[in-house]
Structure 1
């Protein structure tokens, strides 16, 4: 479920999807992020090898991630922005998000977020830390999923992906995953282009940015949906890359 939902990798479908399977899938989300990072890392490495401009390398790497996820999280970000911008009425906002078409608020949010991601990754590539940077950012941004699926976050709807995964990850498990990834992010500091503190701070900044969006959505929508989870992933990715680019 983790790889089949969060990536375009051809894996067998789960025979059953219940809260246990959903919780395990969200817990395994960083592993799906690691698979995406492998592909994006190859693009960054190859782009540097043939001398492509850093901005082009960054755009191609992020395009690879978008292709490998079928644009799932980008679509969620656009729908979330449209819902939050459509109305203060909860039901109307959720209806706008359910439609799936992108309005001006969603398009603007999508473009600006992608510009931040691409510009920040270009800065990391220019500094010579493109591969460790994209690995840390992609894995850490997927940790948002187990963090958003603990018992503290309700579902906005009684059906859909949000209802399936909401509260499905034990708090202790989410904390263990977050602690492990934070600790491993220190390894980015072995690259001379990255300060020792940047990995952990970038990871925490990404989660804080996603948390701010999550709080807003819980207040406005009553909880999470699949779109909200995707939006949180993209916001976390942008914030993490921005700190790594310093």
Structure 2
């Protein structure tokens, strides 16, 4: 029975250590032991013992007096490995399919690549009158709803605008980006394809970096103001769900 007991104790220690790591929330730069004890069901001696072990393996950094604790480089390493091995286009399929089924319009996922947004997944509308761009299609991020839904959330949009937008149009575009940030989505009509309406919402990574956009395309003959309002609401929910899958809190 002794080996079994040791195994059980080992599993409990791992479980408690994971509870400590998961106690950190978005916005927590560092936490004191007292703050951690409010979030995990551990005694103070057990908390300190596990913190020391986590610190030795680089999962926790301790500093100051009294000590404060923050997540260490080993957490960042695991996040990088997870991110590099995860195909967002694959993760997005269930989310995109539900959006496709509820809207009946073309749904696409576009990712930021340099100054371009590239379509990495698309579910074309089954309706006779529809619009699609195709996987692999790319366009500058200053163009279209799916581009500007990304551009509005990059840390600095100005480098993307250089030599791409006439100087006379820059003030209006900057104002448009502010509106997109405020409302959380972008809409374009008859811009890249005559007769098409495009609606797009940003998709974020765990560090709140914008990864790309989720978009819905449909003909203006079918997507009137009421349909647009309904689709935008569904699109926002889907983009939020996809961001969560990508690690955003």
Structure 2 length-normalised TM: 0.28
Q: Based on CA coordinates, which of the two structures has the bigger radius of gyration?
A: 2
Q: Which has the higher contact order (CA 8 A, sep 6+)?
A: 1
Q: Which has the higher helix share?
A: 1
Q: Which has the higher strand share?
A: 2
